Amino acid sequence: MAIFTQDAADQMDRENSISQRWGEGTELKILGNYSPVILTIAITADATGNLDTVAPFAFELLDVVVQCRAANGSGSVTVKKTAAVITDAIAMATNNAIIRAGTIDKTNSTFAAGDTIRLTANGAADRGLITIIGKRAA
């Protein structure tokens, strides 16, 4: 899914008198360009061998928030782009705890549509809801 182009916004703005008055195409383009991207992925089974998800569109990963959903003393998860590590190992050890990524490797944090978002858990019993926050990339 591409970002709404300026040409498409201009065409929509000229569609009818209401669109012209309110600049609907322009407003839609602004929303597409500046709204945050929020992707959630749940680890509900053993993810030590990786849990892969396809990036639905191009975006830059800006933050990762993990909600732990099962106590596991050494639990953690790492976010990758295929095999390239993006985050540090984010703690996922205390049930209900919310932990954010401590580091994000900017050289690997931009995804193209169709790229693999890979979560790798430390232990077979690690469970959590991973929320990826980002912004669309052109």
**Tens digit of pLDDT for each residue in 64-86?**
999 999 999 999 999 999 999 99
DSSP 8-state symbol, 35:
S
Amino acid, single-letter form, for residue 5: T
Task: Report pLDDT digits (tens) over 86-114.
Answer: 999 999 999 999 999 999 999 999 999 99
Task: Say which residues have a Cβ less than 8 Å from residue 69's Cβ, sequence separation at least 6.
Answer: 42, 43, 95, 96, 127, 128, 129
| 84-85/76-81 β-pairing | antiparallel
**Phi, psi angle pair for 92, to nearest 5°:** -145, 60
Residues 21 and 45 in one domain: no
The overall pTM is greater than 0.85: no
| Domain enclosing residue 13, as ranges | 1-34
Note the Cα 72 to chain centre separation in Å. 25
Residue 126 has pLDDT above 90, yes or no: yes
Residues 25 and 52 in one domain: no
| CATH code for the domain in which residue 90 is found | 2.60.120.220
- Name the strand (E) or helix (H) holding 31: helix 24-34
Residue 1 has pLDDT above 60, yes or no: no
Residue 135 has pLDDT above 70, yes or no: yes
Task: Report pLDDT digits (tens) over 13-55.
Answer: 888 888 788 888 888 888 777 789 999 999 999 999 999 999 9
Residues 41 and 25 in one domain: no
Percent of the chain with pLDDT over 90: 71
- Name the strand (E) or helix (H) holding 12: helix 6-13
Question: Is the distance from CB of 93 to CB of 133 less than 8 angstroms?
Answer: no
Domain count of the fold of the chain = 2
